Amino acid sequence: MQFEIIAIEAGVSRVVLSGRADAAAVDGVEAALNAQIHASGGHVVLDLAGVPFMGSLGIRLLISLARTVARRSARIAMTGVQPQVLEVFETMALLDLIPHAPDHEAALALLAG
Amino acid sequence: MNEPTDGTERTMVSRAAVPNGPVDDTVVHSLVLEAEGTTPSRHPLADVPLIVGRVVPAAIVLEGSAVSRRHCMIDRAGDLVRVTDLGSTNGTYVDGTRVGEPVFLADGALIQVGPHTLRYERRRREEALAAASLASDIARARDYVNALLPPPISDGPVQAAWIFQPCAALGGDAFGYHRDGDWFHAYILDVAGHGVGAAMHSVSVMNVMRQQALPGTDTRDPAAVLAALNDMFDMEKHHGMYFTMWYGVLHVPSRRLAYAAAGHHAAVLHVPATGEVRALPARGAGIGTMPGYAYRAAMVELPAGGRLHLFSDGAVELAEDVAEPWGMAQVTGTLCAPAAAWAEGPERLYRQVRRLSGARPLDDDFSVLTLQLA
């Protein structure tokens, strides 16, 4: 799994995750991603279009990101979640924590809201 | 190297091609054999060649018709280790390539012998000692989890059969059930993450459930139980660990089941008499992920003779490159196969998952619990 963080506008970062988020893959990126999100400041849009599988440690990573962002009183949203991953998120009620928007603009609207 | 003097087969192996590399006695060479449900066995490589085969006197004896009596030999030449196929019928493979000429092994090389995989490890002596200590901790943690699992129930109004096959690193699965007057409680849980920490987290939860140590909580209300656990096991206070869980309480006389779930796979209801198979999905935050989350219980009346299947991630999520597609539909189909003895379902599913995974060890705990109503 890989990630890329793009500062898209003042106070908003877009985090693009790609690849299977299984235990080994999450292990490889968790520390670096957490550190960079911690340092980034502002709101976060997670782009998960390139993630075909999200295991329990991948979900833990997202929860941890959401908590980091919430602690600085910023907001987090996600876009592009693939249907099979969305089903897992719904079972976990994860969308209560990180709302899902159909596209990037809608995600920005959620952050502004 | 000690030259055998007893004229055994060991002397038949030519060592001419083995370079006499420098001997580094701070390095320990081992072969590690992993099998689900047991501690990986570690075989240090001494100076004498080690034979792998189906029968003694092989030093590593492996079962299976695909293993030849004398299958392959692993020996050291100074600081190097190599594998030689001994004319086995089905071949010896190193990292997927069939061994023709003897092959020298790199650290982490996988040697496949029939359905078994041996991993070659080259460690500094102190690392080897630390690894042995960790393996011993893992074995103790697994034994602890095993000791807390309830025995199967083979008579009475609610019977139970299960299988628990922990992966080598331990995956944090646990389950339990108990009778409480007219009620029968059952749960399964799966801690996110692997290792002794995950297993000990599951043990903490099992002990809370066994001792019913949830103050002020009506344990016959699944939503209240999950809410109390969510409060008790906030991931921020437990090294970032959370777990998924399914919890159900059956009122035995009326067969009414109340259940709730915290991010866990849906239980599957199977009614053999009518062929009905249906998932009992329930939505809810993983335990510890969202403080104050309000869980909701659902209610269903189970038919007489109905079966309930509960399972963990390890039964559903296999590696992406297994031979056939695998997911909830296949799990359900295997567990609910017609005309099968109910108590064999968990074992049947395990055999199927094992077959699909080939020689590779499972990378998550495999747990399936089946409850059968009279």
- The residue with greater pLDDT, B277 or B128, is B277
User: How deeply is B262 buried, as exposed, middle or buried, from its count of CB atoms within 10 A (0-12, 13-18, 19+)?
Assistant: buried
Instruction: Give the one of B192, B281, B283 whose C-beta lies nearest to A57's C-beta.
Output: B192
SS3 B189: strand
| Rounded average pLDDT over B75-103 | 92
CB A67 within 8 A of CB A34: no
Buried b (16+ CB within 10 A) or exposed e, B80-110: bbbbbbbebebbbbbeeeebeebbebeeebe
Degrees (nearest 5) of the Cα angle A71, A66, A47? 140
Question: What is the dihedral sign for C-alpha B317, B350, B163, B39?
Answer: negative
Does the structure's ipTM exceed the value 0.85? Answer: yes
Question: What is the dihedral sign for C-alpha A55, A61, A63, A69?
Answer: negative
For residue B90, give the nearest of B119, B70, B60, B110 by alpha carbon: B70
Distance of CA B283 to the CA centre of its chain: 26
pLDDT, position B36: 61
Q: What is the mean pLDDT of chain B?
A: 88
pLDDT, position A1: 86
Confidence band, pLDDT 50/70/90 cuts, at residue B322: confident
Long-range contacts: B278-284, Cβ < 8 Å, 24+? B279/B328, B279/B332, B280/B308, B281/A91, B282/B246, B283/A90, B283/A91, B283/A92, B283/A93, B284/A92, B284/A93, B284/B226, B284/B260
CB < 8 Å to B190, chain A: 56
Count CB neighbours of A52 within 10 A: 14
Mark yes or no for CB contact A60/B242 under 8 Å.
Answer: yes
Distance between CA atoms of residues B357 and B362, nearest Å: 7
Confidence band, pLDDT 50/70/90 cuts, at residue A58: very high
Place of tokens 């997670």: A46
Dihedral angle, C-alpha A55, A56, A57, A58, nearest 10 °: 50
B113, containing H or E segment: strand B110-113
pLDDT, position B339: 67
For residue B174, give the nearest of B137, B210, B135 by alpha carbon: B210
Interface of B with A in 269-298 (CB under 8 A): 281, 283-286, 289-290, 293
Q: Is the pLDDT of residue B8 over 60?
A: no
CB B345 within 8 A of CB B161: yes
Q: Is the pLDDT of residue B338 over 50?
A: yes
SS3 B352: helix
Mark yes or no for CB contact A56/B244 under 8 Å.
Answer: yes
Q: Is the pLDDT of residue B130 over 50?
A: yes
Confidence band, pLDDT 50/70/90 cuts, at residue B24: low
- The residue with greater pLDDT, B61 or B168, is B61
Q: pLDDT tens-digit profile of B183-202?
A: 999 999 999 988 888 999 99
| Rounded average pLDDT over B1-17 | 38
pLDDT, position B39: 67
Degrees (nearest 5) of the Cα angle B67, B100, B89? 25
Q: How far is B261 from chain A (nearest CA, A)?
A: 9
Token pair in block for residue B310: 């509960």
pLDDT, position B22: 54
Q: pLDDT tens-digit profile of B131-177?
A: 778 888 888 888 999 999 999 999 999 999 999 999 888 889 999 99
| Rounded average pLDDT over B244-254 | 97
Token pair in block for residue B100: 């023709």
Q: Is the pLDDT of residue B9 over 80?
A: no
CB B282 within 8 A of CB B259: yes
pLDDT, position B114: 92
| Rounded average pLDDT over B36-60 | 85
Q: What is the mean pLDDT of chain A?
A: 91
Count CB neighbours of A70 within 10 A: 12
Interface of B with A in 204-223 (CB under 8 A): none
Instruction: Give the one of A53, A57, A91 whose C-beta lies nearest to B283's C-beta.
Output: A91
CB < 8 Å to A63, chain B: 235, 242, 286, 289
CB A98 within 8 A of CB A46: yes
Q: Is the pLDDT of residue B285 over 60?
A: yes
pLDDT, position B363: 81
| Rounded average pLDDT over B254-266 | 96
- The residue with greater pLDDT, A6 or B91, is B91
pLDDT, position B267: 96
CB < 8 Å to B281, chain A: 91
B98 beta partners: B93
Place of tokens 């080994």: A24
CB B132 within 8 A of CB B203: no
Confidence band, pLDDT 50/70/90 cuts, at residue A66: very high
Indicate which of A56, A64, A98 best probes the interface with B, i.e. most B CBs within 10 Å of its own CB. A56
| Rounded average pLDDT over A4-11 | 83
| Side-chain-facing half-sphere of A81: CA atoms under 13 Å | 24
- How far CA B258 is from CA of B176, B224, B282, in Å, comes to 16, 11, 11
Return the percentage of chain B with pLDDT > 70, whole number: 92
Token pair in block for residue B41: 């066995």
Domains for chain A: give ranges and CATH numbers: 2-112 (3.30.750.24)
Mark yes or no for CB contact B263/A91 under 8 Å.
Answer: yes
Confidence band, pLDDT 50/70/90 cuts, at residue B361: confident
User: How deeply is B148 buried, as exposed, middle or buried, from its count of CB atoms within 10 A (0-12, 13-18, 19+)?
Assistant: middle
Q: Is the pLDDT of residue A113 over 80?
A: no
Token pair in block for residue B47: 């100076």
Q: Is the pLDDT of residue B236 over 80?
A: yes
| Rounded average pLDDT over B71-76 | 94
pTM over 0.90: no
Confidence band, pLDDT 50/70/90 cuts, at residue B47: confident
Q: How far is A19 from chain B (nearest CA, A)?
A: 12
Size of interface A-B (CB pairs under 8 A): 58
Mark yes or no for CB contact B240/A60 under 8 Å.
Answer: yes
Q: How far is B248 from chain A (nearest CA, A)?
A: 17
B136, containing H or E segment: helix B125-148
* Helix runs in chain A, H state only: 23-40, 56-71, 83-91, 104-112
